[in-house]
Amino acid sequence: MWEKTQLEIVLEDRLKNPPTPNIVTKAEGEELFARYTTAKSMLCKEIFPWIRANEPNLSDHSETHIEDVLKNAWQLVENVMDKLNSIELYFLCIGILFHDVGNIYGRKKHNKTISPIYQYILALMPSRDEMQHTLSICQAHTGLGKDKTTDTLQDLKDAFFMRNKVRLRDLAAIIRFADELAEGEGRTSKFMLDNNFFSEESQIYHLYAAMCSHPAIDKSNGRIILNFNIDIKNPWFSTADKLIDFINFVYSRVLKLDEERRYCKYYCRLLDDFKATSINIQFWNDRSLIELDLESFYLDDYVLPGSINLSLEERFPVYNANLILEKIKSYFEADQNE
């Protein structure tokens, strides 16, 4: 089980030493934190280690992933912590604990299979309101909404718990974005990838994780920073077409992350500061950097009329996958002629 993250440290302090005035009593706060600690301990023992046993091809969903999401959430809301009451902070943390546990039943609709685990873990401390709020938050981090679109956050409304208002939509948006940012080398195994232990359809997701540094949350400049180091010597790139396919896959994931940034910010004003995603992509030949003069590019909230349907490559022509491939070929030809 991981050491307390900064978000959990603040949660404990807020619940055990409630500021004045505070609607939640010290005794109530201590009971809530004990409940959180019990859930964390039991999930680390009973659920998180066994998700991979049932879904061996998934990227990491162990306790390491949950710790990562907690750290991301802290970085996202650190500057606006005073705008979250103690009960909202509790639901933010408990929601992060439970948001992915449904994967133990399988990846498909895992956001809809959280309830049995929640009931098992917290069976001795039943609270229907608490359970409903937690499930609502967790279910909104992926999947479809009531209208069968991907707009899951629209379904959430403000609620109350222990006499405190709980902005379920805001909390779900924070968790959803923090989860989206939990990416990088820590979510895969280079050994498993190199030895083809992952299924063919999941390999590209693990390759993406292996070649993506953990997204950086740059609060001072209001941006998310994505760095990719693509090693063309990787056996997966056995043909030029496979390299092009992977480059285009990276572009699709980059667009998805920025889409999540804008989507979550739309529903949660606490995320307003994050106005852009910065992307830097470098290509390597094993340990040697391939100099392609690819500058970082930005995806932000600025919209030029008539450009909304342009692809990433149309917006940034230098990043055309075929053009990059030609530059890589030219790099090696020049190297051979030296």
Residues 107-164 pLDDT 10s:
666 667 778 887 888 775 568 899 899 999 999 988 888 888 899 999 999 999 998 9
Residue 306's φ and ψ, nearest 5 degrees, are 90, -5
Q: Determine if the peptide bond prior to 49 is cis (ω within 30°).
A: no
| Inter-residue contact 95 to 175 (CB < 8 Å) | yes
Domains for the chain: give ranges and CATH numbers.
6-180 (1.10.3210), 185-337 (no CATH)
pTM for the model: 0.91
C-alpha distances in Å from residue 1, one per residue of 4, 41, 62, 104, 337: 9, 7, 10, 18, 55
Please state the rounded mean pLDDT for residues 41-61: 82
Give the pLDDT band of residue 250 (cuts 50, 70, 90): very high
Secondary structure percentages of the chain, helix, strand, coil, to 5: 55, 10, 35
Residues 193-249 pLDDT 10s:
888 888 888 889 999 999 999 999 999 999 999 999 999 999 889 899 999 999 999
Q: Which residues, listed in sequence order, are joined to residue 249 by a DSSP beta bridge?
A: none
| Inter-residue contact 311 to 230 (CB < 8 Å) | no
